[in-house]
Chain A
Amino acid sequence: MAKILGIDLGTTNSAMAVVEGGEPRVLENAEGNRTTPSVVAMSRSKERLVGQTAKRQAVVNPENTIGAVKRLIGRKFDDREVQEDKKSLPYELRKTNEGGVEIRMGETWHKPEEISAMVLQKMKLDAEAKLGERIEEAVITVPAYFDDSERQATKQAGEIAGFKVRRILNEPTAAALAYGLNKKNNEQIVVYDFGGGTFDVSVLEVGDNTVEVKATGGDPHLGGEDFDNILMGFLLGEYKKREGIDLKKDSLAVQRLKEAAENAKKELSTTQETEINLPYITSDAAGPKHFLMKLTRAKLEELVGDFIARSIKLVEETVTSAAPRGAGMKLADIDEVILVGGQTRMPMIQEQVKHLFGKEPHQGINPDEVVAVGAAIQAGILQGDVKDILLLDVTPLSLAIETLGGVATPMIQKNTTIPTAKTQVFSTAQDNQPSVEIHVLQGERPMAADNKTLARFILDGVPPSPRGIPQIEVTFDIDANGILNVTALDKATKKSQSVRVEATTSLGKDEIERLKQEAAAHETEDRKKKETIDAKNRAEALVYAAEKALRENPNVKENVKRDVEEKAAKVKELLGGEDAALIAAAADELSRSLQKIGEEMYNKKEDKSEGDHATP
């Protein structure tokens, strides 16, 4: 079954994802990055570059490095926006006979959709290399405000790149899909998308598996880059004030400062204060100079506060203004808010959005990837019309075996796909134990007594040996029909016993649910019980080890011997009770005393080694 690629074709960066085994997965490009710059270039050596490589030569080849074509795709040359953008774009534009836009790259002129196609083609090739299979189809996202011609041109870009474009999806709708909000009924959703270079806000209405765009707004020239620029300006200004040196003229210093400023901005999303340290940033007559500055979150917020306030105002307008400018709703009508775009990691943005709507925004999915994830989910829905050939069952509850102290030790965890088998080696709990009982359990509780018994059988004929020595191999095997076979094998004698349990999946749905709920309800109490048992098992093993040590080392000093005996007696006494902490403390003391025997032995004769540890 061929996969359909979900693509977020962005103004500055693009991302892609597929659904694999029912789960969306963001794909890295050939360079190993989860986003690809939406940049294409014709290098001076007449080589076509796409993505990161194109970006890396932009400084020396700006007129042939084409970015932000999303601002031009499907538009008329005479559009006010195109004329406006033309002033700041470093490459040359011209009007086609049909009134559209063409871009000069190297010697040739290209339509914006051809440029976008080059980005899409790289993503297609990278995705194919990553997945090791051909990809023919794609879902591509566009801003909700894109008109028909912009959508058509985006679709054509996909087709030029070799895709069959299954759907052109609105970006905010993709974000809502990523959060599973398409399943809601009659809900109003606001998507706040603060990207690198654009700010979009959309109001959606979901109902009956349809998503309708009620209103869109935003500012095509407001983004995270503005934050970086204003922060850079501040840092350069501060340094000049303090040191009297203008770093702006030093391209390396500017480059280093830019990286450090971006990192500081990111860091301040999780900390209140950060340091920007750039040793040897420059030098003067007195020697090398360093850039050392503390930056607080409050300062950053002060610097970018106006940008955020502007975005919040735009959100308010888009929601409350009467149609067609806005959705004509009250802020209180909004049921869900989604944050998209890397800049929304900033706590101040999250707080202000939360404050505006009085509710917690959705932000669990990486905001740089949420649109691509949504596109992949849409693709998954489209590819879902092919039915899965083989339906595999799972075990609804865990299967376990009872071990020392009445503990249920899981062999096969719940929700394991069957058929499956699992083998584990157990041992005896007592010296010269002639047989072991295999108690097969079903359920989620940690103690055997609280779970359902499926079967019990005994493997006997275990040769006499100290506890922990015999190796009993227990295998749980569930076949495709849910029939469980449990086998116990004594590895020394090769003697084995087995039992067949037919009814492992015959539990009704209600019963399974009940058992799971019961497990959840008893979690704390059960854990405590298990802790007690674990402490007891450890203490018992220690007492056993102590007695063994005293037996095998009759020459131990009298005071050490008495100390160990007393401590062991205390542990034994406490074992009758249920206080895990007391037992653990007494066991610790015994353990310390025991070490003294060891020390003494080693001091006496260092050559004789002491072996064997009993395992419960």
Chain B
Amino acid sequence: MDKEKLKKCEEEREEYLNGWKRARADLINYKRDESERLKEMEGRGADRVVRELITVMDGFEEGVRETKDEGMRIVYGELVRALGRCGVKEICPGEGDRFNPKEHEATGETESDAPEGTVARVERKGYEREGAVLRAAQVILSKSRKSQKNNQ
């Protein structure tokens, strides 16, 4: 009788102990997930702001190229640096660089001296923040002159 009781007790103990361990583990996991999620949310908030700013940057960049006002140039440089401090990096491949669809978006093709299928020129810079592409760099790919003739 007592033996049976003891066995039952032990079983229960095992069950409760497991349940308790599971609950502890659940909490630890939840805390970890939650802190990750918080970090992610924070990053996403920043990403949203930067995404909005990207198109403004396009126009600003163009304007700075046109203007003779040194002050505007400094202001633009400061804006780029401020974004840099927030972890924002430009994606700006050079001529002849391999086309990488993870960071580049092909918007057209043109004849150029660069090897076929590589980047001929960048139409609009891309931007990334902590490894996440906020906008892919929009690039024109090279179509070699020879293959152009072949096609015709």
Contact = CB atoms under 8 A, between A and B. Distances in A.
B42 interface: no
B68 interface: no
A59 B132 contact: no
A305 to B, nearest CB: 29
Contacts of A252: 107, 123-124, 138
Interface in B106-127: 106-109, 117, 123-124
A32 B58 CA distance: 23
A57 B101 contact: yes
Interface string A32-46: 100000000001110
B66 A45 contact: no
A255 B124 CA distance: 10
A324 interface: no
Contacts of B123: 251-252, 255
A278 interface: yes
A60 interface: yes
A50 B140 CA distance: 21
A521 interface: no
Contact of A56 (B23, B105, B117, B140): B105
Contact of B107 (A43, A49, A54, A251): A251
Given A252-B138, A280-B62, A60 B19 contact: no
B104 A280 contact: no
A49 B101 contact: yes
Interface residues of A, number: 27
A547 interface: no
Nearest to B110: A251
Most buried by A among B44, B63, B107, B140: B107
A288 B104 contact: no
Contacts of A256: 55, 58, 124
23 contacts: A32-B47, A32-B132, A45-B98, A45-B99, A45-B117, A49-B101, A56-B136, A57-B101, A59-B108, A60-B108, A60-B141, A251-B107, A251-B140, A252-B123, A252-B124, A256-B58, A278-B59, A279-B59, A279-B63, A280-B62, A288-B66, A389-B22, A390-B23
B62 A57 contact: no
A569 B62 CA distance: 67
Interface in A20-77: 31-32, 43-45, 49, 53-54, 56-57, 59-61
B133 interface: yes
Given A56-B105, A288-B66, A31 B133 contact: yes
A260 B54 CA distance: 12
A3 B5 CA distance: 38
A332 B106 CA distance: 51
Contacts of B3: none
Contacts of A280: 59, 62-63, 66
A460 interface: no
A259 interface: yes
B106 A60 contact: yes
A389 B101 contact: no
List 7 tightest A-B contacts by C-beta distance, closest first.
Answer: A280-B62, A279-B59, A53-B101, A56-B105, A60-B106, A56-B101, A252-B123
B146 interface: no
A53 B19 CA distance: 45
Contact of A255 (B63, B66, B107): B107
Contacts of B141: 60
A57 B138 contact: no
Interface in A329-378: none
B102 interface: yes
Contacts of B124: 252, 255-256
A480 to B, nearest CB: 10
A56 B108 contact: no
A279 B67 CA distance: 13
Nearest to B138: A255
A255 B108 CA distance: 11
Interface string B140-152: 1100000000000
A31 B44 CA distance: 12
B108 A251 contact: yes
Given A389-B19, A390-B19, 20 more contacts: A31-B132, A44-B117, A45-B99, A53-B101, A56-B101, A56-B105, A56-B106, A57-B99, A59-B106, A60-B108, A251-B107, A252-B123, A252-B138, A255-B138, A256-B58, A279-B63, A280-B62, A280-B63, A280-B66, A389-B22
